[in-house]
Amino acid sequence: MLLFDEFRTASQGGQPPRYIHIDEMQNLSIDKDCYLGKILTEGRKYALNVILASQSIREFNASERTMLCQANHKLLFHPALLEVKYYAELLASPQHRAEISDLLRNLEVGQCVFQGPIYIGEDSKPTRAPICVNVSHLEDIASASLSKSST
């Protein structure tokens, strides 16, 4: 019901960007006729964004994985060893899959592989190449923000 309300409100236009966060999203249907599927395929034009978290996307069927892979940004934390090859194929061209497989296998706690448009250094164009990112704990980010605002 919540997804229906969000989609209906956003599709009426004139709304600021909205974000929906869904954890354990493998428990929801993402069929193109369901509202989560509609948000995945049409949400951008209504400034309706979704952040999805799941342990794996392998259990989804091919059309559902295609919808999920349309995401502009992907974060992959240390996957199960049996899934490393699958995710390397998802992220990289054939000539870079071994490198990405090694990167995925060697991720430590607090690291992920990010793929999406990102500017690195002084580049004038974003890269979409997968990169390793260190992720801070939310508490660290909050305390850093508080100390900056108090100075």
Q: Average pLDDT, stretch 116-145? A: 77
Give tens-digit pLDDT for 35-62: 788 888 888 888 888 888 888 888 888 8
Distance of alpha carbon 108 from alpha carbon 131, whole angstroms: 14
pLDDT of residue 4 exceeding 60, the answer is no
The single residue listed with the structure tokens 């509609």 is 38
Q: Average pLDDT, stretch 124-132? A: 90
Split at pLDDT 50, 70, 90, the class of 10 is: low
What does the domain layout of the chain look like in residue ranges?
1-71, 72-151
Q: Average pLDDT, stretch 116-144? A: 78
pLDDT, residue 140, reads 56
Is the model more confident about 32 or about 151? 32
Q: How far is CA 73 from CA 51, 68, 130, in A?
A: 10, 10, 10
Q: What is the pTM of this model?
A: 0.72
